[in-house]
Amino acid sequence: MRHLPYRSLPLLRSLAVAVLAAISLVSVLRPAQAAGEYSIQEVVDAGHGFFGETSGALAKVIEQAFEQYGLPNGYILGQEGSGALIAGLTYGEGTLYTKNVGQHDVFWQGPSLGIDYGGNGTRTMMLVYDLPDVDTLYARYGGVSGSAYIVAGVGMTVLKSRDVILVPIRTGIGARLGVNVGYLKLTRTPTWNPF
């Protein structure tokens, strides 16, 4: 075994300290994933399992949501149907998934008004941000549905109620064209009343 000269030990020590400092700095600068939040890979995997083969487009839309809003602390997988002729209605149902409080049934309904016509049936994944508890989820979420981010048939909109943000990601069959203003009302039980 070859021994290093005594003079090079301080240099090695300084190099080791610099490497450890760089590693510490990188870990501090990288956003930490809280225990109740989902990573992008977890959400993409759940989406691929739910939507099937929408691969690249789904990953791009999810990546866009993560860039804008960070890590969600829940997501909803479900399906919905909607139709419109100037005024429209949407009805859906699904399951909220969280890491810290389990799974919960959720239903949604909502009216819309605008330059809008057609109908569609979609599978929907909603990313849920800043949800303090499950009860807070059940509220009205407003947004402009025409302000969508769309990649190869997979679309994303943004809805908000108080501090909670929902990012519905949809893919499905049918055609509904236009720009509309409306809201979604999330409830614990199904209802025909969209108001």
- Ordered by start, the domain boundaries in the chain are 40-187
Considering the entire predicted model, what is its pTM?
0.75
Q: Is 58 left (phi over 0), alpha (psi -120 to 50) or beta?
A: alpha
Least Cα distance to 95 among 73, 78, 108, 74 occurs for 78
Is 2.40.128.480 the CATH number for 40-187? yes
What is the distance between the alpha carbons of residues 142 and 124, in angstroms, rounded to a whole number? 17
* Per-residue pLDDT at 154: 78
Mean pLDDT (the chain, rounded): 78
DSSP 168-192: EEEEEEEEEEEEEEEEEEEESS--S
- The rounded Cα 119 to chain-centroid distance in angstroms is 24
pLDDT tens profile 81-130? 888 887 888 899 999 999 999 999 999 999 887 776 777 788 899 999 99
* Per-residue pLDDT at 141: 93
